[in-house]
């Protein structure tokens, strides 16, 4: 009796008593709309573009200097120079040594990272707002006045060479080297990781780094992005003081864009031997699309269905149905030029061939018409999840970077959800036929050759080529 009373009491505020009707899931209400904060654009006196987005949740601010040249601008024979240049920026700058800089930044509770991708280089500052005026001069030293000490270059070089040595231990690291190398070849920039490989890494000089820096780190090639607990009135004077004196020297360099890589034309299997591996790492793919593709929204939906979500076909088949893997996925890696499309999983060694067969079931299956319910689920997943991608200052800053690096219009985010909602089944089918052609893709497997080769050959996917591990490192 007492128990029943308790239930009645707590149920007063709600509609139903005791046993709740669970026969069907509750309907989802109308989707909330995301109010995107405005991008407030201005320029410093020297012409550097400044974009500010106010975000007043926690007393933090993110300031990202984006240079629109990255590893894709590495000269042939010097792959890795852009990445090493970025890494050297905070190894000595202005009047400070590497250690002094790190001490000054850490003491403020700030963080400054320097980075380079294929498409851009960056110096990113995250700082408590109260310390921004102390942190910005340090950031400006790093971005504008790096000193490139020879001893630091030697140290970083050794560190990177050692990392490449360690990559030989790790099937995931090996497949990340092998797949692009096979799809793009050793000459195209996308065929080699941004960090580069031993031969080039050993030969790079301070002059190479300085030349890369001079050519690309210039105010007419840079944008400052600010997101956080600031206003234009509070932050612009600080930015002017730190970056306003930055001057361009000479003409902006003419940098040839990365050429579109030739597409693969026939399916072939590449096997890298890793004796004793408990799992094989599989990558299947070819040359995909650039970020500027008009099919961006369609491919986002297509990939969500194929391998871009937990309930995607690849993950459901290889993980949930067959238990071959901890997770299977696919991605269109979009860059300024066409990056790779790839489907990926680590699978238990004795199921490698079975897993490959199922990969192709799904890669072929995506060419067929998509059931309406599945299409709707994928579109809703992308569209309704979109607001959650703007939560933190770091999230927002990364979104802005995308606009800057790929020269996208300001309405990119506000038009994204409508574009997703417009995608039809026919769009997906047309895109699949063009961008997913399983009979032309490279099939790259890193695993225990003795245990997997015979079964892989038995699938008759195409010619099987054995790739010596050493080939991945030169």
User: 335-374: which residues touch other proteins (CB under 8 A)?
Assistant: 346-348
Closest CA to 125 of 393, 429, 461: 393
Residue with Cβ nearer other proteins (55 or 78) = 55
Cβ-contact 303, 325 below 8 angstroms: no
Cβ-contact 302, 343 below 8 angstroms: no
Stretch that binds other proteins, among 17-25, 282-290, 408-416, 437-445 (CB under 8 A): 17-25
By CB atoms closer than 10 A (0-12, 13-18, 19+), residue 39 is middle
Stretch that binds other proteins, among 112-120, 205-213, 382-390, 459-467 (CB under 8 A): 382-390
3-state secondary structure of 36: coil
In the window 169-188, what residues touch other proteins (CB under 8 A)? 169-171
Integer Cα distance of 241 and 223 in angstroms: 16
Q: CB of residue 247 vs other proteins: minimum separation in angstroms? A: 30
Integer Cα distance of 439 and 320 in angstroms: 26
Cβ-contact 67, 113 below 8 angstroms: no
Residue with Cβ nearer other proteins (13 or 294) = 13
Integer Cα distance of 170 and 324 in angstroms: 19
In the window 314-333, what residues touch other proteins (CB under 8 A)? 316, 319-327
In the window 69-128, what residues touch other proteins (CB under 8 A)? 98-99, 102-103, 106-111, 126-128
Q: CB of residue 250 vs other proteins: minimum separation in angstroms? A: 34
Interface mask toward other proteins for 222-251; x: CB under 8 A: ------------------------------
- DSSP character at residue 320: I
Q: CB of residue 26 vs other proteins: minimum separation in angstroms? A: 4
Residue with Cβ nearer other proteins (74 or 362) = 362
Stretch that binds other proteins, among 10-18, 182-190, 217-225, 433-441 (CB under 8 A): 10-18
- DSSP character at residue 189: G
Residue among 390, 435, 437, 438 that touches other proteins (CB under 8 A): 390
Integer Cα distance of 179 and 394 in angstroms: 30
Residue among 211, 264, 331, 384 that touches other proteins (CB under 8 A): 384
Which residues sit opposite 442 in a β-bridge? 268, 285
Is residue 165 near other proteins by the rule CB under 8 A? yes
Stretch that binds other proteins, among 166-174, 190-198, 258-266, 333-341 (CB under 8 A): 166-174
DSSP string, 226-275: EEES--HHHHHHHHHHHHTT----SSPP--PPPPPPPPP-S-EEEEEE-T
Residue with Cβ nearer other proteins (40 or 322) = 322
Is residue 303 near other proteins by the rule CB under 8 A? no
Q: CB of residue 20 vs other proteins: minimum separation in angstroms? A: 5
> Could you count the other beta carbons within 10 Å of the beta carbon of residue 346?
21
Residue with Cβ nearer other proteins (32 or 409) = 32
In the window 20-59, what residues touch other proteins (CB under 8 A)? 20, 22-23, 25-34, 57-59
Is residue 470 near other proteins by the rule CB under 8 A? no
Integer Cα distance of 149 and 433 in angstroms: 52
3-state secondary structure of 287: strand
Q: CB of residue 161 vs other proteins: minimum separation in angstroms? A: 9
Closest CA to 133 of 259, 261, 235: 235
Torsion of CA 131, 134, 139, 141, to 10 degrees: -170
Residue among 95, 166, 265, 465 that touches other proteins (CB under 8 A): 166
In the window 420-439, what residues touch other proteins (CB under 8 A)? none
Residue 174, both tokens? 């090996």
Is residue 407 near other proteins by the rule CB under 8 A? no
DSSP string, 122-137: EEEEEEEGGGHHHHHH
Residue with Cβ nearer other proteins (207 or 373) = 373
3-state secondary structure of 326: strand
Residue among 43, 206, 231, 391 that touches other proteins (CB under 8 A): 391
Conformation bin of residue 409: beta by default, left when phi > 0, alpha when psi is -120 to 50: beta
Stretch that binds other proteins, among 5-13, 177-185, 283-291, 363-371 (CB under 8 A): 5-13
**287: phi then psi, degrees, rounded to nearest 5:** -75, 130
Residue with Cβ nearer other proteins (46 or 349) = 349
Residue among 250, 254, 256, 388 that touches other proteins (CB under 8 A): 388
Residue with Cβ nearer other proteins (20 or 465) = 20
């Amino acid at each position: 009796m007492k128990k029943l009373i308790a239930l009645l009491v707590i149920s007063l505020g709600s509609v139903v008593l005791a046993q709740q009707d669970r026969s069907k899931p509750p309907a989802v209400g109308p989707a909330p709309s995301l109010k995107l904060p405005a991008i407030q654009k201005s320029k410093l006196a020297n012409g550097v573009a400044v974009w500010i987005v106010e975000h007043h949740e926690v007393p933090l601010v993110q300031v990202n200097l984006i240079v629109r040249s990255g590893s894709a601008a590495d000269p042939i024979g010097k792959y890795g120079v852009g990445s090493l240049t970025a890494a050297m920026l905070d190894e000595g700058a202005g009047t400070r040594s590497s250690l002094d800089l790190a001490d000054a930044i850490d003491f403020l509770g700030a963080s400054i990272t320097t980075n380079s991708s294929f498409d851009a280089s960056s110096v990113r500052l995250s700082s408590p707002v109260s310390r921004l005026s102390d942190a910005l001069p340090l950031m400006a030293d790093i971005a504008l006045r790096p000193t490139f000490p020879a001893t630091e270059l030697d140290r970083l070089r050794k560190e990177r060479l050692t990392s490449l040595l360690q990559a030989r231990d790790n099937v995931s690291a090996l497949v990340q080297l092998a797949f692009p190398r096979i799809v793009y070849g050793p000459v195209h920039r996308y065929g080699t990781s941004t960090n580069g490989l031993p031969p080039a890494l050993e030969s790079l000089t301070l002059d190479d780094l300085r030349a890369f820096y001079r050519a690309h780190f210039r105010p007419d090639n840079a944008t400052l992005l600010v997101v956080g607990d600031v206003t234009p009135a509070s932050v612009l004077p600080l930015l002017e003081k730190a970056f306003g004196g930055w001057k361009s020297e000479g003409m902006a360099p003419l940098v040839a864009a990365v050429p579109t890589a030739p597409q693969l034309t026939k399916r072939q299997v590449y096997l890298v031997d890793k004796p004793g591996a408990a799992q094989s790492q599989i990558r299947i793919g070819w040359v995909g699309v650039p970020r500027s593709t008009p099919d961006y929204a369609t491919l986002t939906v297509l990939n969500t269905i194929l391998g871009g979500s937990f309930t995607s076909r690849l993950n459901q088949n290889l993980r949930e149905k067959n238990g071959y893997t901890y997770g299977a996925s696919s991605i269109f890696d979009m860059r300024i030029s066409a990056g790779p499309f790839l489907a990926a999983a680590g699978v238990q060694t004795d199921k490698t061939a079975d897993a490959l067969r199922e990969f192709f079931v799904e890669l072929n299956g995506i060419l067929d018409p998509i059931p309406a319910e599945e299409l709707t689920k994928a579109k809703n997943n992308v569209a309704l999840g979109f607001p959650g991608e703007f939560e933190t200052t770091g999230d927002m800053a990364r979104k802005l970077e995308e606009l800057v690096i790929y020269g996208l219009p300001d309405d990119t985010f506000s038009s994204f959800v409508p574009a997703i909602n417009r995608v039809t089944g026919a769009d997906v089918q047309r895109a699949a036929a063009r961008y997913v052609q399983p009979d032309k893709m490279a099939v790259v497997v890193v695993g225990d050759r003795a245990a997997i080769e015979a079964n892989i050959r038995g699938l008759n996917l195409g010619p099987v080529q054995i790739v010596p591990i050493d080939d991945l490192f030169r």
